[in-house]
Chain A
């Protein structure tokens, strides 16, 4: 099974900060990676697919990059509504999907 290691598991940041979250796959997965945002008590929300394609309606301050084994999600200017937990998901081995462990973005 493809394992995804996500880091950090949590971070503290202030509004306006630039935030970067990383996912590393246990083997090459090309660009077969998506990113989701989850707020407490809510379902995940799709942000990015194919490693770097922004889902319709998602603010442009979110961006994704990477290919192969290393991927990043960047929030260029953190807003109050961005405090949440973020997950990456690989679909190279679809239908056997795996998620990263999550990164909780908290207010400093």
Chain B
């Protein structure tokens, strides 16, 4: 079964650090583009970061320089290292598998596998 399971959320003080994990089963993380998406309480979805199968990484401006996406191929696990956390980082964090393929003259993209999410609360 294709599945993603996030762990690592919790209560952290402003300025602190936290590492989220996203364990995959049924497919290979390193062969796919993988994203993190977050959702603040009562709010909409916000894309956070992506790692390409080739290893390139991209970040939303709101987290650039503070968050780092990575993966461990041997564990088939995606990570999000979050430093210098702020109250506005409080959210449920989801990992998702990106599917992207060519459909001339352009391409098609979607997030087709999502984890259940892990909650991060930044508060003193």
Contact = CB atoms under 8 A, between A and B. Distances in A.
Interface string A65-108: 00000000000000000000001010100111111111000000
B63 to A, nearest CB: 12
Interface residues of B, number: 22
B44 A100 contact: yes
A43 B117 contact: yes
Contacts, number: 59
Interface residues of A, number: 27
Given A98-B47, A99-B45, A44 B106 contact: no
Contacts of B103: 50
B109 A34 contact: yes
Contact of A30 (B35, B106, B117): B106
Q: Which 3 A-B pairs have the closest CB atoms?
A: A43-B114, A49-B110, A97-B47
